[in-house]
A and B are shown apart, each in its own frame.
Chain A
Amino acid sequence: MSQTPQILYCHCNYAQVVPKEVKEAVLRKLCESGVPFEAVADLCEMSARRDPALQRLTQGNAIKIAACYPRAVKWLFAAANAPLPLDRTEVVNMRAETADNVVASLLSMELKPNVPTGKVTASDAPAAETAQA
């Protein structure tokens, strides 16, 4: 099995919290790149419905997820009995990053696991995020 990380894109369909221009630009660039990826309408809805597809998504290789805050994504999956493999998951935050940065992270072969373990406070955040908070 390939060790290349899977890509999962969340369209955050039912709220305006992810800037529309960012999520559309990310989806467009993924489509143009020609890489295989998984796209879901809304991770929140899948979590609320305990959608078994979330388990499918966590059962493969390492995974890069374009969605929102890593802490939220971690517990959305956990709430659906599909805990993310913490050492093999990178969450790219479309609420805080530019579309270019998100796509660069998704398409990079390097995986930077960043799902929080334990309490997350400001001192745990990357410098850029701290500055924005």
Chain B
Amino acid sequence: MALADQSTLRIVLYEGAGATALAGEERFSVLSTLLGQGYAVTRAGSERAVAPADKSSVLVLGRFGAEKPETTTDSSGQVSVRFENLEDTAPEHVIAKVDGVRTTAGAVKQGDWKPWFPVIDYDRCTNCMQCLSFCLFGVYGVDGGQRIQVQNNDNCKTNCPACSRVCPEAAIMFPKYKAGPINGDVVSDKDLNREKMKIDISALLGGDVYHMLRERSEKAQSRFSKERDAEKALSERQKCLVKLAQSGDIPAEVLMSLPSPDEIARRAEEAKAKANAALAAQAPKT
């Protein structure tokens, strides 16, 4: 999912010499529209610097009238620069124009995924591997120096902050979470007292969550086989998960989508083994 090797489109809203300036409200409308579609926009001008050019294709939007410049390349000859007239600032016209250029330029479309993933505060992280051993979805891994890192953020379950709750140093943030310190707010003494213990999810949720899920699932399966009532079994599992969801602020749908008990056990073992290997590798050699 990394964009490093893909083409992106940079939009520049130009209102300098050779173009007619937009009214403030029009400027706001154009920017709101483009941002809402996932585009990044530079509103250029002479009073302040903006970010320098890079390898992104550039689309310059402006009111050029009949003087609209032709498509060209930058001084390196590697970056194409297209120009489009912005006569009509109605959202549908702006989107159609920009999407067309993006397609022509072969640039990626952004904004199709809610960016929910853990962000590690390395000022706080002690590399204890609790998160690696906890996460069942392979979000975490270690780099060449055995340092914990987020490797597969697409695997993260939207709105689930569970791994940040098992971090004893409150070092894992989800910037789109509702409350601190998980959202990146400062870490209070109360937060630390709550999270300082080297705990695992079992302590956090008042029992071994995996064991609990396994047990409940087995009971539900048993009941299902006896009663042939899938709805009842599902209802039972949901009741069990409500408590877990409330105590850990883990979305019920995340818990409901957990894999089978056997698969949970397998993944948990795999994650623990990875964490142990990383911890062993960073331990001082005697």
Asked if B48 and A7 make an inter-chain contact with CB atoms under 8 angstroms apart, the answer reads yes
Whether B212 is near chain A, meaning CB under 8 Å from some CB there, is: no
Query: How many of chain A's residues have a CB under 8 angstroms from any CB in B?
Result: 66
Report the minimum CB–CB distance from A131 to chain B (whole Å).
Answer: 12
Question: Which of B25, B44, B184, B189 meets A72, CB within 8 Å?
Answer: B184
Asked if B173 and A72 make an inter-chain contact with CB atoms under 8 angstroms apart, the answer reads yes
Whether A111 is near chain B, meaning CB under 8 Å from some CB there, is: no
Residues of A within 8 A of B37 (CB): 41
Q: How far is the CA of A69 from the CA of B173 in the complex (A)?
A: 11
Beta-carbon contacts of A19-57 to B below 8 Å, as 1s and 0s? Answer: 000001001101110111111111011111111110111
Whether A124 is near chain B, meaning CB under 8 Å from some CB there, is: yes
Report the minimum CB–CB distance from A63 to chain B (whole Å).
Answer: 9
A122-B183 in contact given A39-B35, A44-B176 (Cβ < 8 Å): no
Asked if B47 and A41 make an inter-chain contact with CB atoms under 8 angstroms apart, the answer reads no
Asked if B4 and A2 make an inter-chain contact with CB atoms under 8 angstroms apart, the answer reads no
- Name, among A75, A116, A118, the residue most crowded by chain B CB atoms within 10 Å (CB to CB): A75
Closest residue of B by beta carbon distance from A121: B187
Asked if A56 and B52 make an inter-chain contact with CB atoms under 8 angstroms apart, the answer reads yes
Residues of A within 8 A of B55 (CB): 52
* Interface magnitude class on chain B: 35 or more
Report the minimum CB–CB distance from A29 to chain B (whole Å).
Answer: 9
Asked if A125 and B186 make an inter-chain contact with CB atoms under 8 angstroms apart, the answer reads yes
Whether B66 is near chain A, meaning CB under 8 Å from some CB there, is: no
Asked if B50 and A53 make an inter-chain contact with CB atoms under 8 angstroms apart, the answer reads no
Asked if B187 and A36 make an inter-chain contact with CB atoms under 8 angstroms apart, the answer reads no
Whether A84 is near chain B, meaning CB under 8 Å from some CB there, is: no
Asked if A79 and B28 make an inter-chain contact with CB atoms under 8 angstroms apart, the answer reads no
Asked if B2 and A31 make an inter-chain contact with CB atoms under 8 angstroms apart, the answer reads no
Residues of A within 8 A of B44 (CB): 36
- Interface residues in A55-75 by Cβ distance below 8 A to B read 55-57, 59-61, 68-73, 75
Nearest first, the 3 closest Cβ-Cβ pairs linking A and B are A72-B184, A69-B184, A36-B45
Interface residues, chain B, CB within 8 Å of chain A?
1-4, 8, 10, 24-25, 27-28, 31-32, 35-56, 110-111, 113-117, 119-124, 150, 153-154, 173, 175-178, 180, 183-189, 192
What are 16 of the A-B contact pairs (CB < 8 Å)? Answer: A4-B47, A11-B35, A14-B113, A30-B43, A39-B31, A39-B41, A41-B110, A48-B154, A52-B56, A69-B180, A71-B121, A71-B185, A79-B150, A119-B123, A122-B188, A133-B180
